[in-house]
């Protein structure tokens, strides 16, 4: 009987793509993949180590599987991903139940690692992180109709609060030909929505082509006939060029949605973060985006309680958020990460202050979202079906205005026909529920 291998992938979608590549290698080698890692012989935990909450989630997950191993329900545990890369020594000393601790540069050797641990070896494998493979086959772990296209790994921005450059290394772009081939294969296999990701998507191509090439890449991806929606995440505001805006405006397949992590609006705080810009430049960019791409959905992320943030600077951020009326927003209390410049700065704030400020921003955003959702009452929206909620006895899905896992849902009834995931329908909105919308399918299909 073949060895059963299961994967738990934590953290961001970029990490998920790494997991899919490892699963493909294991499948090609003849290992039996199981959806529930708790039912496997070998459990691979692909960890996130970006901020404190992600580290805690990873540790709790590892300990859960350590308990399963102690009970004899699984045989081996392999720890991969960013937590393993960042805290190799700590993982080895504090989690002896781990049979292997694997850095991201050793992902391509996952089959050999599984073979060795099943042979009774306990091992550590940390090749150069720049050896992480950026191309190759994948076992898709998302719903069948959407997938992520990771166009680069690592980051060269060196924001003072961020540990990604030390964990993942400098930015490395994937050649455009390889990306177009990968996207075409995904589309042929049923993907209708392609989500373009990188740590900073707007820097794509600088290292290979000597200049940012995201607009050219998006133009080429739009020529893939089977794709319906192309979504772009993680566009840094200082690199959103007129060329990129023009491509997003004119290409019908690119959804009018942009994820733009600004982190703050105060120029002094941004400077301490090693981020360019200030409130004036951000207001100007947002006005340009809304003028040039009518109806665009703007998503952003913010950090409250950065070292030295005064009440006046926080108030400026709160007023900015209120004025800008972002369509989607996430706000997080600052996390002091080991090895970053910001962790050593004077003026560290207490956790209560950081969390209180984040809560204020999110309460403001709830008011903004409620008002925006109210404007959608009695409107008809194109929705991709994601599944059926047995508890609510209704279907659910997303519009072009919502990215999977991070934005809201649309819950709806279909009285005349049974729906399957991946089809597009027109939904008439008749109610709202917090960040979500509620409606009914109209008679005619969307496609």
Per the DSSP assignment, residues forming a β-bridge with 211 are none
Report pLDDT for 206: 97
Q: Taking the mean position of all CA atoms in its chain, how far away is CA 284?
A: 27
Within 10 A of 27 (CB to CB), how many other CB atoms are there? 15
Whether pTM > 0.85 for this model: the answer is: yes
Report pLDDT for 62: 93
Report pLDDT for 27: 96
Q: Taking the mean position of all CA atoms in its chain, how far away is CA 7?
A: 18
Report pLDDT for 445: 57
The low-confidence residues of the chain, meaning pLDDT below 70, are: 1, 444-447
Report pLDDT for 362: 97
How distant, in Å, are the alpha carbons of 264, 296, 341, 386, 401 from that of 361? 12, 22, 25, 30, 21
Q: CA–CA separation, 361 vs 37, rounded Å? A: 37
| Rg, C-alpha atoms of the chain | 22
Report angle CA 195, 199, 201 to the nearest 5 degrees: 55
Contact 133, 310 (CB under 8 A): no
Report pLDDT for 1: 54
Report pLDDT for 92: 79
Q: CA–CA separation, 410 vs 435, rounded Å? A: 9
Report pLDDT for 444: 58
Report pLDDT for 446: 58
């Amino acid at each position: 009987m073949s060895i059963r291998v299961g994967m738990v992938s934590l953290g961001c979608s970029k990490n998920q793509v790494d997991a899919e590549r490892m699963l493909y290698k294991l499948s090609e080698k003849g290992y039996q993949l199981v959806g529930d890692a708790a039912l496997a012989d070998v459990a691979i935990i692909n960890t996130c180590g970006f901020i404190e909450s992600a580290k805690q989630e990873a540790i709790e997950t590892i300990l859960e599987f350590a308990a399963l191993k102690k009970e004899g329900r699984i045989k081996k545990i392999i720890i991969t991903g960013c937590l393993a890369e960042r805290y190799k020594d700590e993982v080895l000393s504090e989690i002896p139940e781990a049979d292997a601790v694997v850095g991201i540069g050793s992902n391509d050797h996952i089959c050999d690692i599984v073979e060795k641990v099943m042979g009774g070896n306990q091992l550590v494998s940390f090749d150069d992180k720049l050896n992480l493979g950026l191309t190759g086959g994948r076992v898709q772990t998302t719903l069948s109709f959407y997938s992520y296209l990771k166009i680069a790994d690592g980051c060269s921005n060196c924001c003072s609060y961020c540990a990604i450059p030390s964990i993942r290394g400098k930015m490395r772009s994937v050649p455009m030909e390889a990306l177009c081939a990968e996207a075409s294969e995904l589309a042929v296999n049923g993907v209708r929505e392609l989500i373009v990701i990188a740590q900073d998507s707007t820097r794509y191509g600088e290292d290979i082509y000597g200049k940012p090439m995201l607009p050219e890449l998006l133009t080429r991806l739009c020529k893939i006939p089977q794709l319906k929606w192309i979504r772009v995440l993680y566009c840094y505001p200082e690199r959103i060029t007129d060329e990129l805006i023009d491509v997003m405006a004119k290409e019908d397949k690119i959804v009018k949605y942009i994820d733009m992590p600004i982190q703050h609006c105060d120029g002094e705080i941004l400077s301490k973060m090693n981020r360019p810009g200030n409130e004036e430049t951000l207001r100007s960019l947002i006005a340009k985006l809304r003028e040039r791409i009518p109806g665009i959905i703007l998503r952003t992320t913010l950090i409250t309680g950065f070292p030295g943030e005064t009440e006046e600077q926080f108030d400026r951020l709160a007023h900015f958020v209120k004025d800008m009326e972002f369509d989607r927003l996430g706000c997080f209390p600052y996390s002091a990460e080991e090895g970053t410049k910001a962790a050593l700065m004077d003026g560290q704030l207490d956790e209560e202050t950081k969390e209180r400020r984040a809560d204020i921003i999110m309460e403001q955003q709830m008011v903004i979202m409620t008002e925006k959702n109210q404007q959608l009452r009695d409107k008809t929206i194109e929705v991709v079906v994601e599944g059926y909620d047995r508890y609510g006895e209704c279907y659910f899905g997303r519009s072009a205005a919502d990215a999977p896992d991070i934005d809201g849902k649309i819950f709806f009834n279909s009285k005349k026909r049974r729906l399957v995931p991946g089809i597009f329908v027109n939904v008439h909105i008749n109610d709202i529920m917090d960040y979500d919308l509620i409606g009914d399918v109209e008679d005619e299909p969307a496609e």
